[in-house]
Amino acid sequence: MNYPVHKKVLATPANIVTFSRIVILIVLAFVIQTDIFWVRLACFILIPIIFYMDSLDGFLARRLNCASKLGAVLDVAGDRIVENVLWLLLAYLNVIPVWIPIIVLVRGFMTDGFRSVALANGFTTFAMMKSRLGWWLVVSPLSRTSYAILKAVVFTVGIGIWSFKFGDIAWLAVSFNVLLYLTLAQCLVRGFYTIKECLKSF
């Protein structure tokens, strides 16, 4: 079934996937501290599934011709909710220091604020990136895919470390911290270049 893009259809397959990943995330956040092994195992497995659903909603939007401005807004909102809740959850579980989600949240509010002004001036996300370096660091498929994979791995491993008490395994702890700070570095670099490029559209 095709969904005409000019109609403001809310319950498209793509939007249903977006809503579903948010609901799954909220349930996960509430039940993860349950002292039942299979519940914690399910939460561990659901993290990569939630990130896969981000790709699935985009695929469905294109395949079923149900892409819309509303769907794009919901997709971005879903991404922000998933990322911020998981950063906060890892800090709450004492897997990461609390200053990390604080920095990520501040970065997110700053970049979204600047991006919204640029969008209001008629610039698309891709058109904002006027420099080649900015394009490669922010909107290129390599940048977006690597950042999504890093986040998925960090959140999955972080939840696994807490759920199954793997924090004492030295090599795993070191690997997790390397990936954690690589993810944070990419987050900040992408945010910096987003703001830098947006300023050119003012």
CA–CA distance, 90 with 97 (Å, rounded to integer):
8
Q: Give the closest residue to 148 by CA, choosing from 195, 79, 70.
A: 79
Same structural domain for residues 201 and 101?
A: yes
Does residue 88 sit within a domain?
no
Same structural domain for residues 157 and 178?
A: yes
Residue that terminates a domain, selected from 48, 82, 116? 82
**Which of 105-109, 134-138, 159-163 has the least mean pLDDT?**
134-138
Same structural domain for residues 68 and 143?
A: no
192 band by pLDDT with thresholds 50, 70 and 90: very high
Does residue 87 sit within a domain?
no
Whole-model pTM: value is 0.87
Residue-level pLDDT at 119: 67
Q: Give the closest residue to 118 by CA, choosing from 14, 13, 197, 192.
A: 197
Residue-level pLDDT at 6: 42
Greater model confidence, 25 or 8:
25
Residue that terminates a domain, selected from 82, 108, 126? 82
CA–CA distance, 109 with 101 (Å, rounded to integer):
12
Same structural domain for residues 78 and 97?
A: no
Same structural domain for residues 98 and 198?
A: yes
Residue 97 above 80 pLDDT? Answer: yes
Same structural domain for residues 24 and 61?
A: yes
Does residue 55 sit within a domain?
yes
Same structural domain for residues 200 and 101?
A: yes
Same structural domain for residues 157 and 64?
A: no
Residue 5 above 50 pLDDT? Answer: no
CA–CA distance, 125 with 117 (Å, rounded to integer):
11
Does residue 154 sit within a domain?
yes
CA–CA distance, 31 with 193 (Å, rounded to integer):
37
Give the tens place of pLDDT for each residue, 151-185.
999 999 999 999 998 877 889 999 999 999 999 99
N- to C-terminal Cα distance for the chain?
41
Residue that terminates a domain, selected from 60, 82, 104? 82
DSSP conformational letter for 33:
T
- The count of domains in the chain is 2
Chain Cα centroid distance, residue 105: 12
CA–CA distance, 158 with 86 (Å, rounded to integer):
10
Same structural domain for residues 152 and 69?
A: no
Same structural domain for residues 98 and 54?
A: no
The range of the structural domain enclosing residue 122 comes to: 93-202
Residue 50 corresponds to which tokens in the numbers above?
């939630």
